[in-house]
Amino acid sequence: MSIVIDSRAVERLYYDYAQTIDGGDIEAWPNYFLDSAFYQIISQENFDRGLPLGIMSCEGMGMLKDRAFASAKLNVYAPRTWRHLIGNICFDEAGDEIQSTANVVLFETIMGRSTQILLSGRYIDTIKKTDGALKFAKRVVVYDTTIIPGSVVCPI
Amino acid sequence: MDESVKQKNYQWPEQPGRIPDWVYTDKEIFAREIERIFDAANWSYAGLECELPNPGDYKRTFIGNKSILLVRAENGDVNAMLNRCAHRGAELCQHNAGTVKEFMCPYHQWTYDLKGDLCGVPFRRGVKGKGGMPKEFRLEEHGLKKVKVQRRGGAIFACLADNPPPFEEYLGPTVLGYYDRIFNGTGLKLLGYQRQRIPSNWKLILENIKDPYHASLLHVFFVTFGLFRVDQPSRVLIDESGMHTALVSQRGKQEMNDGTEQMRSFNAALKLNDPRLLDVQKEFPGDATVVMHTIWPNLILQQQSNTLATRQIIPLGPNEFEMHWTFFGYETDTEEMTQRRLRQANLMGPGGIVSMDDGEIIARVQDGLLQSASDVGIVEMGGRGSELETEHMVTEVAIRVFYDGYRKVMGL
């Protein structure tokens, strides 16, 4: 079965996702995923060497919600704003799935400090259409940045 | 007090339990730390055996702010040397890890063997009778600077000075016992790295791990789920040098009691949607469920539930350091245990549900310290004493004892 996807629908998914996080509504972030989704932020170094450790890893909706709640309500960090800059979205349909990649740069502005690039990297995604909406079945953020400047306080 | 330090008018506060702000922010103090601590006769953590499984495998690591190479030799030994060509000082290896037959500097192709001995200098005898190195130039006098190596139970330590103390003596029996509990000789399995730069003085992260008082307050997650909390049976153990510490504790229940009711961050109603994050399996003898070690001068060795990690501290200047986390398990782990360790790793590291609080808060402390060189910090929780063994967590004794030792080393 093939689903013909409008490229604007895939872009929309990426941009809405970024807008939700950048807008500060972290607890709405899990809504972009399927219940069985896998999410991970992992360094290029670990990714290339086949080392499984990420800096955030969620298996399924429960862990996605727990991470979102921790970021939104439990963790203690300096006030900041985030801006995702997403480009070079490339995708292919394969059966009922879309395999997609995109570049991402994350600008972080901590109150009272200069804006910095927290990381640059790419999304490697598997997207599925359910109930008329596109959702992530798998989203892996592979970052190039060798040393993270500070902490990653929210999902990317 | 040393003459040079006096000249700058560094005055250690007379009142006990006080730490001057300048010890965290002053450039000369930092330069002295590199000289007297990292370049001196201390064992710095450098890596794990499992990072160098085969001959020729190398790891680029650090002692203080100096780049070091660890290399597995043909005979199974681990050699360590400065990652700096003896000729013009170029860094030999820029990758964090790799496999080589020899090290060659690309600049003038000086070549070194796996021991760091110089084995080739192009045009050494000149070309067509012209040029070349002087006759007296001897390869054996110009190898890479060798670094002493100590291996124990799967971890590798290194020392830039020629006269390091015996490792067992260096750690002392108490901390060595806890060290051996983790590095018990079972082969280790590398799970991956996390690397972050924190805008704070490097000592603040060691103090953070020597301070069980904050863990019951700052970290909602620890407090609520009882992973590290003052109402639990706990011990703060310090070796005789005062520089190494083990914080030992047992997991408590999510219940309201005399301790938790004083913690604003305790949340009796908080529940995980997916409890697998805290699906902890007992794996060590004894009752302790968490042991946090600070091993002077550059290592935090962490066993929190089933997460095992080394955090290597790389000081960059008074106001900045890097922390390189290496997560590991054991070769004997089942796939299920590996997955458990990876899940619990969500608590730790630059994106850790618990650890991000620490990275953030010590940066906030540094911001405060930078505003004044003349103020002092207070470490009086648990009294003003220097006990090497405390049976509770409501104490900053390990920081007080640490600064007694630090002052001796630094001549302050």
Give the C-alpha separation, A148 to B350, whole Å. Answer: 8
Chain A contact set for B363 (CB, 8 A): 78, 150
User: Cβ B350–A150 below 8 Å, yes or no?
Assistant: yes
- Best of A58, A76, A82, A142 to disrupt the B interface (most B CBs within 10 Å) is A76
Exposure string of B250-283, with b = 16+ CB inside 10 Å and e = fewer, is: bbbebeeeebbeebebbbeebebbbeebbebeee
> Is the Cβ of B104 closer than 8 Å to some Cβ of chain A?
no
* pLDDT surpasses 90 at B6: no
Which strand (E) or helix (H) includes residue B46?
strand B44-48
User: Cβ A59–B276 below 8 Å, yes or no?
Assistant: yes
Per-residue confidence (pLDDT) for residue B251, from 0 to 100: 84
Structure confidence at residue B7 as a pLDDT band (50, 70, 90): low
Provide the ipTM. Answer: 0.96
Mean pLDDT of the region A37-47: 98
Of B74, B75, B70, which is closest to residue B49 (Cα–Cα)?
A: B70
Per-residue confidence (pLDDT) for residue A20, from 0 to 100: 98
- Best of A38, A42, A48, A55 to disrupt the B interface (most B CBs within 10 Å) is A55
User: Cβ B196–A147 below 8 Å, yes or no?
Assistant: yes
Q: Which of A53, A54, A76 sits opposite B360 (nearest CB)?
A: A76
Give B137 to chain A, closest Cα distance, Å.
40
Return the number of other C-beta atoms located less than 10 Å from residue A9's C-beta: 13
Q: Which of A66, A148, A152 sits opposite B273 (nearest CB)?
A: A66
Structure confidence at residue A4 as a pLDDT band (50, 70, 90): low
Q: By three-state DSSP, how is residue B353 classified?
A: coil
Chain B contact set for A38 (CB, 8 A): none
* Structure confidence by residue, pLDDT tens digits, B278-327: 999 999 999 999 999 999 999 999 999 999 999 999 999 999 999 999 99
* pLDDT surpasses 90 at B5: no
* Structure confidence by residue, pLDDT tens digits, A87-114: 999 999 988 899 999 999 999 999 989 9
**Paired tokens of B287:** 């009752």
Q: Is A88 left (phi over 0), alpha (psi -120 to 50) or beta?
A: left
* Structure confidence by residue, pLDDT tens digits, A7-32: 899 999 999 999 999 999 999 999 99
Give A7 to chain B, closest Cα distance, Å.
32
Per-residue confidence (pLDDT) for residue B266, from 0 to 100: 76
The share of chain B scoring above pLDDT 70, in percent, equals 98
Per-residue confidence (pLDDT) for residue A1, from 0 to 100: 45
For every residue of B231-264, which 3-state class applies, written as one string?
A: CCCEEEEECCCCCCEEEEECCCCCCCCCCHHHCC
Give the C-alpha separation, A30 to A17, whole Å. Answer: 10
Per-residue confidence (pLDDT) for residue B2, from 0 to 100: 58
Chain A contact set for B195 (CB, 8 A): 43, 146-148
User: Cβ B363–A150 below 8 Å, yes or no?
Assistant: yes
Of B313, B330, B324, which is closest to residue B181 (Cα–Cα)?
A: B330
* pLDDT surpasses 60 at B3: no
Chain A contact set for B338 (CB, 8 A): 52
Find residue B194's DSSP bridge partners.
B325
> Is the Cβ of A70 closer than 8 Å to some Cβ of chain B?
yes
Q: Which of A53, A65, A75 sits opposite B327 (nearest CB)?
A: A53
Give B92 to chain A, closest Cα distance, Å.
19
Per-residue confidence (pLDDT) for residue A37, from 0 to 100: 98
Q: Has this prediction a pTM greater than 0.80? A: yes
In Å, how far are A33, A36, A37, B50, B327 from B338, measured between CA atoms? 25, 20, 20, 16, 11
Structure confidence at residue B1 as a pLDDT band (50, 70, 90): low
User: Cβ B346–A65 below 8 Å, yes or no?
Assistant: no
Give B195 to chain A, closest Cα distance, Å.
5
Mean pLDDT of the region B208-225: 86
Chain A contact set for B276 (CB, 8 A): 59, 62-63
* pLDDT surpasses 50 at A120: yes
Strand intervals (E) in chain A: 33-43, 56-59, 80-94, 97-110, 115-130, 133-143, 148-149
> Is the Cβ of B190 closer than 8 Å to some Cβ of chain A?
yes
Strand intervals (E) in B230-355: 234-238, 245-249, 290-295, 299-304, 307-317, 320-330
Give the C-alpha separation, A45 to A106, whole Å. Answer: 19
**Paired tokens of B139:** 């390869």
Average pLDDT, chain A: 95
Per-residue confidence (pLDDT) for residue B233, from 0 to 100: 85
Of B147, B143, B141, B13, which is closest to residue B86 (Cα–Cα)?
A: B143
- Best of B59, B60, B195 to disrupt the A interface (most A CBs within 10 Å) is B195
Which of B5-14, B40-49, B300-309 is least confident?
B5-14
Average pLDDT, chain B: 93
